[in-house]
Amino acid sequence: MIDETTIICRCEDIPLGTITDTAKQFHCSSREVKLRTRAGMGYCGGRTCRTMVERIVQEINNEKAKDESQLSYRPPIRPVTFGELGGENNNES
């Protein structure tokens, strides 16, 4: 069962109550809720909670679901070489 203490953003440990209270108090968009609460700004960059935050805010604001997302997310990915993955150091002679 979902209640006010249910964690929506696991990376930043943000519960449902914080998101709903913020959206109601400030009449926020999902982007503003993200900036005020840090929901979606953790290690995963919103990949886990982004859609849930958007749905919660849309429900509170009585908005219809949109095709495009208001929140952006950045995957926690950076390029690495095969040597780095294998633990080899290419600078050694």
Q: Is 74 helix (H, G, I), strand (E, B) or coil?
A: coil
Give pLDDT, residue 93: 47
Q: What is the pTM of this model?
A: 0.68
- pLDDT of residue 89 exceeding 70: no
pLDDT value at 1 more than 80: no
Residue 87's pLDDT band (cuts 50, 70, 90): confident
Would you say 35 and 66 are in contact if contact means Cβ atoms under 8 Å apart? no
* pLDDT digits 0-9 by tens, 25-43: 999 899 999 999 999 999 8
Select from 30, 37, 16, 33 the least CA-distant residue to 71.
Answer: 30
